[in-house]
């Protein structure tokens, strides 16, 4: 069976206009004080690949346009919608006003392990949101990723509706934030049947 490598022209890549019009994965990615612009750019590239709805850049997280973001985003920063918030706390407040269910990605007590994410808790949690008494804007979920050293602020963790944790089995229990975001976004795309 031939495994000829595809040429770029064969990959059915969307134009930026087609991207803007296309159905999105109902997921919003929040970056809370992410220091490295390479990580920010890499997250943009992953969010482009899985057509994530939006990226919320918070605190010290740099915003496009910036040459160092571009170096790893390679233009994905022009496709994926983004907003800036002075703090991730404000972003979470806004997300709650919009009816989003917010997960922080952190190693905490009583976390939901990412391998336990199912269609039920990736897709909806309608009940949780009705309990919150807030509007529902098409079932969006938000996931917050934190600073490379300090992680997600405890105040943001406390304001979240749940915490997600990637189970780890080695000597470090610390993965690169753009790798972590890639795995989490993939797992939402997979369990939300985006393919």
CB proximity list for 33: less than 8 A, separation 6 or greater: 58, 59, 60, 61, 88, 146, 147, 150, 153
Cα four-point dihedral sign 43, 92, 137, 83: negative
Among 50, 56, 85, 188, binds a copy of itself (CB under 8 A): 50
Torsion of CA 29, 56, 148, 47, to 10 degrees: 40
Please state, as a whole number, how many other Cβ atoms lie within 10 Å of the Cβ of residue 162: 16
Verify binding: residue 106, a copy of itself, rule CB under 8 A. Answer: yes
Among 60, 68, 75, 128, binds a copy of itself (CB under 8 A): 75
Collapsing DSSP to helix, strand or coil, 60 comes out as coil
Nearer to a copy of itself, 110 or 127 (CB): 110
Collapsing DSSP to helix, strand or coil, 3 comes out as coil
Verify binding: residue 111, a copy of itself, rule CB under 8 A. Answer: yes
CB of 150 to a copy of itself, least distance (A): 9
Collapsing DSSP to helix, strand or coil, 47 comes out as helix
What CA–CA distance (Å, rounded) separates 27 from 190?
12
Among 118, 128, 130, 154, binds a copy of itself (CB under 8 A): 154
User: What secondary structure letter does DSSP report for 44?
Assistant: H
Write a three-state SS string for 29-49: EEEECCCCHHHHHHHHHHHHH
Verify binding: residue 96, a copy of itself, rule CB under 8 A. Answer: no
Nearer to a copy of itself, 61 or 165 (CB): 165
What CA–CA distance (Å, rounded) separates 147 from 49?
23
**Site size toward a copy of itself, by CB under 8 A:** 67
Binding mask 5-44 for a copy of itself (x = CB under 8 A): xx-x--x-xxxx-xx--x---------------x---x--
Verify binding: residue 97, a copy of itself, rule CB under 8 A. Answer: no
Verify binding: residue 155, a copy of itself, rule CB under 8 A. Answer: no
Binding site for a copy of itself (CB under 8 A): 1-6, 8, 11, 13-16, 18-19, 22, 38, 42, 45-51, 72, 74-76, 79-80, 104, 106-111, 113, 115, 151, 154, 157-158, 160, 163, 166-176, 178-183, 186-187, 190, 194-195
């Amino acid at each position: 069976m031939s495994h000829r490598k595809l040429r770029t022209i064969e990959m059915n890549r969307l134009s930026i206009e087609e991207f803007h019009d296309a159905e999105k994965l109902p997921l919003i990615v929040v970056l809370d004080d992410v220091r490295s612009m390479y990580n920010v750019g890499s997250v943009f590239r992953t969010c482009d690949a899985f057509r994530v709805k939006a990226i919320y850049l918070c605190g010290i997280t740099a915003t496009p346009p910036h040459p160092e973001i571009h170096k790893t985003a390679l233009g994905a920063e022009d496709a994926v919608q983004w907003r800036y918030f002075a703090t991730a706390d404000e972003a979470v407040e806004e997300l709650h006003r919009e009816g989003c269910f917010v997960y922080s990605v952190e190693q905490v007590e009583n976390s939901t392990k990412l391998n336990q994410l199912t269609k039920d808790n990736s897709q909806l949690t309608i009940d949780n949101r009705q309990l919150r008494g807030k509007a529902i804007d098409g079932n969006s979920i938000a996931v917050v990723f934190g600073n490379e050293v300090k992680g997600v602020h405890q105040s943001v963790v406390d304001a979240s509706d749940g915490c997600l944790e990637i189970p780890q089995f080695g000597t470090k229990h610390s993965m690169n934030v753009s790798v972590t975001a890639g795995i989490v976004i993939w797992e939402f795309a997979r369990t939300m049947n985006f393919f």
